[in-house]
Structure 1
Amino acid sequence: MSHQPAMRQTQQGFTLLELMVVIAIIALATATVSLALPDSNRDRLETEALRLSALLESARAQSRTSGVPVYWRATPEGFEFDGLSSRKEAPNPLAGMRAWLQADTQAEVIQPADTANLVLGPEPLITAQRVQLQLGSQSLVLATDGLGPFTVAPPTDAQP
Structure 2
Amino acid sequence: MPTSVPGSSATAAPSRLRASGFTLIELMVVVAIIAIATAGVSFAIRDSAAAQLDREAQRLSALFESARAQSRTSGVAVVWHPVDGGFRFDGLPDKALPDHWLSSGTYVQGGPAIVLGPEPIIGRQSVVIASTAVPQRSLRIETDGLRPFTVTEPTP
Name the TM-score class by shorter chain. Answer: 0.5 to 0.7
Match of 1:123 in 2: 119
Match of 2:17 in 1: none
> For 1:84, what is the secondary structure of its paired residue?
coil
After superposition, the CA RMSD in angstroms is: 2.3
Give the TM-score normalised by structure 1.
0.62
**Pairwise mapping of residues 50-129 of structure 1 onto structure 2 (< 5 A)?**
50-86=58-94, 93-94=96-97, 98-108=99-109, 116-129=112-125
Letter in 2 for 1:79: F
Q: Give the distance between the partners of 1:81 and 1:146, measured in 2 at CA.
A: 18
> For 2:99, what is the secondary structure of its paired residue?
strand
8 A Cα contact 2:112 2:127, kept in partner: no
1:139 has 2:138 as partner: yes
Q: Give the distance between the partners of 2:107 and 2:80, measured in 1 at CA.
A: 14
Q: Give the distance between the partners of 2:109 and 2:138, measured in 1 at CA.
A: 11
How many percent of aligned residue pairs carry the same amino acid? 50
> For 1:99, what is the secondary structure of its paired residue?
coil
Q: Give the distance between the partners of 2:151 and 2:82, measured in 1 at CA.
A: 17
Q: Give the distance between the partners of 1:98 and 1:62, measured in 2 at CA.
A: 16
Q: Give the distance between the partners of 2:102 and 2:93, measured in 1 at CA.
A: 24
Unaligned runs of 5+ in 1: 1-36, 87-91, 110-114
1:41 deviates by 1.6
Q: How many residue pairs are counted as aligned between the two chains?
A: 110
Q: Give the distance between the partners of 2:122 and 2:109, measured in 1 at CA.
A: 19
8 A Cα contact 1:74 1:108, kept in partner: no
> For 2:127, what is the secondary structure of its paired residue?
strand
1:159 deviates by 4.0
Unaligned runs of 5+ in 2: 1-42
Match of 1:3 in 2: none
8 A Cα contact 1:60 1:121, kept in partner: yes
- 1:111-145: CA deviation from partner (whole Å, max 9, x where unpaired): xxxx7310000001000001001013221001100
Cα gap change, 1:130/1:43 in structure 2, threshold over 3 Å: closer, same or farther?
same
Q: Give the distance between the partners of 1:80 and 1:93, measured in 2 at CA.
A: 11
Q: Give 4+ residue runs of structure 1 displaced > 4 Å after superposition.
A: none
Q: Give the distance between the partners of 1:108 and 1:60, measured in 2 at CA.
A: 22
